[in-house]
Structure 1
Amino acid sequence: MVVKKGHRQRQAMATKAQIASAARALFAGQGYVATTIAAIAESADIPAPTIYSAFGGKAAILRAIAWGIADTLDIDRAHEEALAEPDPRDGLRRAANIQRRQFEQMYDVIDIYQEAARTDPDIARDMRTIAANRERAFRRHVEAIAAHLAPGVSTDDGVAIYLTLVLPEVYRTLVIERGWTAGRYENWLADALITQLLP
């Protein structure tokens, strides 16, 4: 009985992964709004009722995609390591690496979220929560290096600078539109954070 239950759980997880993969490709290719559950069902080769049963709707699928990637990145631990660096410059370089990894692995999902938030109140609420969590993490970092901030840069200024430099639109401009490598973006971001925040 235990074996059967474990097998069913693995099958359910595999089905969800298949749905999420198909949905991610469709969301990125034709947009969140234009993608229907029927289209996801056809692409994933899984009946639409199964998709509704597994997730409930498009918003839940998008959340599952985002959380699945976020889990592999282990962002919270990475931020703690950045905060623990004795040299604030090294901590900011770690922060730049965190942003690079996030954008490298899930920029398409961030872009989908931004589109979806314009029409889906649940996703819009998610976006506000995500933005608040990001700002809280950045504020913790700036507060941790407050004694090292450049003259005239308050904690609030530091948070505003940090938030601006790590905007997804900046990554899009430099990497996707201008052809920078992710490594070049990371180095630029690290240098920009250090130059703007520290003496």
Structure 2
Amino acid sequence: MTEEPARRRYDSLRRTAQAQQTSADIARAARTLFVAKGWAATTVRDVAREAGVSVPTIYAAYGNKNGLTWALTDAADLSADLSRLLAELESAPEPPRQLAAMVAYDRRLFERAGEVIVLLREAGRTEPELAQAYREARARADDAHRQVLSTWPPGALRSSIDLQTALDIYAAICNIDVYTELISERGWSSEQVEKWWCTMVIRELLEIPTAAT
């Protein structure tokens, strides 16, 4: 397989990474303020001041305050380094190594931005905009995982599961609640979580599990 088709395979992820990087300062500012002050108390002007940009720049990037809910998900993905995940996927086409790259990304995401994910989910119980942002962020993660798994050759996934079931299993293993339970309640390190997740998803998803490198 030539390098160009391999690059085109992940064009959607690449566009997402580029767009998120463009709005990085705004996203980080919104994350800082929403976590510190809460959604209701934070204004667009506050975010602009924190980010060092003009208010029109905020509107151009996100439309309005409701649009800033996307800044939270952008900030989370930026902190986990989506570009690094993309590079690892393109350099390692083998399913075990791609699963390892996905798991490593999720570990970074929860380690560095777990409070943002929890904020979105909990605040979404009373703020419809945040609830929608949380749902769409979850859907976006599923879509990214689908892009990866759908490129695998026939026979890579266990014969007893289809693609959607594989996505469901991955989400059941690698999620913020499991991460929080193991880190906060069980005293695991993030490295331990990543290693266990990697072992589990390889065992549960691949037809012939092999050690990820």
Work out the CA distance in 2 between the residues paired with 1:177 and 1:93.
24
Work out the CA distance in 2 between the residues paired with 1:102 and 1:149.
25
Cα deviation 1:103-154 (Å, max 9, x = unaligned): 1110000000001111111111112211111111112222223531123122
Q: 1:143 aligns with which of 139, 150, 168?
A: 150
Q: Does structure 2 retain, via aligned residues, the 8 Å contact 1:84–1:91? A: no
Q: 2:138 aligns with which of 115, 131, 155?
A: 131
Identity of aligned residues (%): 23
TM-score using structure 2 length: 0.65
1:73 is aligned to: 80
Of 140-149 and 158-167, more deviation after overlay is shown by: 140-149
| Residues 1:124 and 1:152: Cα distance change in structure 2 (over 3 Å) | same
C-alpha root-mean-square deviation of aligned residues, in Å?
Answer: 3.4
**For structure 1, which runs of at least 5 residues remain unmatched after alignment?**
1-12
Q: Does structure 2 retain, via aligned residues, the 8 Å contact 1:79–1:137? A: no
1:180 is aligned to: 188
**1:21 offset after TM fit, Å?**
2.6
- Structure 1 residue 25 corresponds to structure 2 residue 30: no
The SS at the match of 2:159 is coil
2:4 is aligned to: none
Q: Does structure 2 retain, via aligned residues, the 8 Å contact 1:116–1:123? A: yes
The SS at the match of 1:147 is coil
**1:80 offset after TM fit, Å?**
5.9
Equivalent residues in 2 for 1:29-178, closer than 5 Å: 36-37=41-42, 63-75=70-82, 78-79=85-86, 81-82=88-89, 84-145=91-152, 146-178=154-186
Query: Which consecutive aligned stretches of 4+ in structure 1 deviate over 6 angstroms post-superposition?
Result: 13-19
Give the residue type in structure 2 aligned to 1:121. P
Work out the CA distance in 2 between the residues paired with 1:14 and 1:133.
21
**For structure 2, which runs of at least 5 residues remain unmatched after alignment?**
1-23, 209-213
TM-score using structure 1 length: 0.70
Report which of the two structures shows the higher radius of gyration computed on alpha carbons: 1
Structure with the higher fraction of residues in helix conformation: 1
